[in-house]
Structure 1
Amino acid sequence: MTTSTSTPTPRFDLIGLVVSDMAASVAFYRRLGLAFPEGAEQAPHVEAALPGGLRFALDTEATVRSFAPDWRPPVSAGRAGLAFLCADPAAVDSTYEELVDAGYDGALKPFDAFWGQRYATVLDPDGQSVDLFAPLPGAVTDGG
């Protein structure tokens, strides 16, 4: 009789971004409701707890270069996206306006999408696409 050793399946645990300016990035993501600890603006690595036990981390470019000296920022963004669920369609509009008024780039003004959501996109300080969305009244969605 033989026994096999099974390796547990890895569990998705963290979403991480490399940022050029920690203070600017912490300020942006705090505006979207993420809770970073006091003093995070000066830290080389910070984390915020997400629903469901996931974590959202920010690392400075210097931190990444400390263990990967040849690392360089990607030339183009847009392969990954972050999305924040807003309370309702009006909150998409007000959150978008608040971020744009604070100086962040509005990449896509709020609109009613054919898939049943109020939808908008802003860019974080490093140009990362961040979507804002909420189901439209009466829309049938698959939950996301």
Structure 2
Amino acid sequence: MIEGISAITLGTHDMPRAVQFYGALGFEILHGGEGSSFSSFRAGTGYLNLIAQPAERRWSWWGRVIFYVADVDALYHRALAAGFEPATVPRDAEWGERYFHLVDPDGHELSFARPLPSPVQ
């Protein structure tokens, strides 16, 4: 039986830039760093890992990783303040989440979301 996802590992062509990007969003670095070929960040009870890839290795759209956050709008404004350009503005979705999308410097699509409160009946 599958119990959960422990970590997601994303490739990067520029570890210093990637580490700075995720640090600016508030991810806590646990291992590695700008000079490392592998870095690991805390993502709730799981981990977001970065692994350096050679320049000749390319990838195309692979999907999207979704992170639940305490405050979608606060993180959106933090991203703007860091000079990032989110792909969408925060909005409430028909499937019951508030979210926005942001593409990291290596082209990985990230979504930051929070379940909407259930309607009072």
TM-score (norm 2): 0.78
Residues 26 and 135 (structure 1 numbering): CA distance in 2 closer, same or farther, change over 3 Å? same
Q: List gaps (5 residues or longer) in structure 2.
A: none
Count of aligned positions: 118
Larger Rg: 1
Q: Contact 1:96 / 1:122 at 8 angstroms: preserved in 2?
A: no
Instruction: Name the structure 2 match of 1:17.
Output: 10
Q: List gaps (5 residues or longer) in structure 1.
A: 1-10, 66-70, 140-144
In the TM superposition, what whole-angstrom CA distance separates every residue of 1:28-48 from its partner, at most 9, and x where no partner exists? 222344322476111111123
Instruction: Name the structure 2 match of 1:28.
Output: 21
Q: What secondary structure does 1:122 align onto?
A: strand
Q: What secondary structure does 2:29 align onto?
A: coil
Task: Note if 1:60 corresponds to 2:52.
Answer: yes
Residues 131 and 50 (structure 1 numbering): CA distance in 2 closer, same or farther, change over 3 Å? closer
CA distance in 2: counterparts of 1:137 and 1:39, whole angstroms: 37
Instruction: Name the structure 2 match of 1:83.
Output: 66
The correspondence for 2:57, drawn from 48, 72, 88, is: 72
Percent identity at matched positions?
31
Residues 55 and 86 (structure 1 numbering): CA distance in 2 closer, same or farther, change over 3 Å? closer
Write 1 or 2 for the structure with the bigger share of helix.
Answer: 1
Report the aligned-residue RMSD: 2.7
- After the TM superposition, which residues 1-144 of structure 1 pair with which residues of structure 2 at under 5 Å, given as runs? 13-37=6-30, 40-52=33-45, 54-62=46-54, 72-74=57-59, 76-77=60-61, 79-87=62-70, 91-138=71-118
Residues 50 and 121 (structure 1 numbering): CA distance in 2 closer, same or farther, change over 3 Å? closer
Write 1 or 2 for the structure with the bigger share of strand.
Answer: 2
Q: What secondary structure does 2:27 align onto?
A: coil
TM-score (norm 1): 0.67
Distance apart, 1:129 and its partner CA? 0.8
Structure showing greater relative contact order (alpha-carbon pairs closer than 8 Å, 6 or more residues apart)? 2
